């Protein structure tokens, strides 16, 4: 009888502990959507909201040199096996991604018909864009070890090598 009573007490204790509500405050931030409206998002478990000054110096310089007049709205630090990455949203909706060293990986205009500047691209890439697409804005730029991928506002996808030389249209 004592074993049954003891078992009942232990089980009821576990039941009470599991029923207690755990109040976790989740970090949230405001994101600008395609339509220009703001939406509150919850930070993923592998992300943390950090200060602008927590960005690597190279990322801070990239933002200052290419988007100096824009305010930084949010900086997320994402933990990855290959190293931390940083996601930055500017006040105008442009999103930037940097690797752990502050090298830019992605630059995207998230608001419809918005374009990003091209000053951070290699001169040969800027020359190609000026000659072949003089009045077409850049929707997004992605850089990896294979090269540079540029999506234009007219939905043309251009591929360049790591030096910025044109390869093909995808």
- Read off the pLDDT of residues 99-157 as tens digits, 9 standing for 90 and up: 999 999 999 998 888 999 899 999 999 999 999 999 999 999 999 999 999 999 999 99
Question: Which backbone phi and psi does 49 adopt, to 5 degrees?
Answer: -80, 130
For 88, other C-beta atoms within 10 Å of its C-beta total 23
Structure tokens given for 15 = 């039941």
What CATH number is given to the structural domain containing 136? 3.40.1420.30
- Specify the higher pLDDT residue, 37 or 101: 101
pTM: 0.77
Q: Are 110 and 33 in contact (CB under 8 A)?
A: yes
Domain count, the chain: 1
Contact 80, 86 (CB under 8 A): no
Give the structural domain span for 136: 2-169
Under 8 Å CB-to-CB from 152, ≥6 apart: which residues? 133, 136, 137, 138, 139, 158
pLDDT tens string 52-91: 999 999 999 999 999 988 999 999 999 888 889 999 999 9
Whether the CB-CB separation of 68 and 110 falls below 8 Å is answered with: no
If you write DSSP's letter for every residue of 34-46 in order, what string do you get? TTS-EEEEEPPTT
């Amino acid at each position: 009888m004592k074993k049954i009573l003891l078992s009942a007490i232990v089980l009821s204790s576990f039941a009470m502990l599991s029923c207690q509500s755990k109040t976790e405050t989740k970090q949230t931030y405001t994101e600008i959507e395609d339509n220009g409206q703001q939406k509150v998002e919850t930070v993923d478990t592998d992300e943390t909201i950090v200060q602008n000054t927590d960005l690597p110096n190279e990322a801070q310089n990239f933002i200052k040199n290419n988007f100096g007049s824009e305010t930084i709205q949010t900086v997320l630090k994402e933990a990855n096996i290959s190293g931390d990455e940083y996601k930055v949203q500017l006040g105008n909706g442009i999103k930037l991604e940097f690797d752990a060293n502050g090298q830019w990986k992605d630059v995207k205009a998230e608001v419809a018909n918005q374009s990003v500047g091209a000053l951070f691209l290699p001169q040969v890439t800027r020359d190609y864009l000026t000659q072949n697409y003089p009045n077409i804005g850049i929707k997004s730029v992605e850089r990896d070890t294979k090269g540079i991928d540029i999506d234009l506002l007219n939905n043309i996808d251009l591929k360049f090598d790591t030096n910025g030389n044109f390869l093909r249209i995808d």
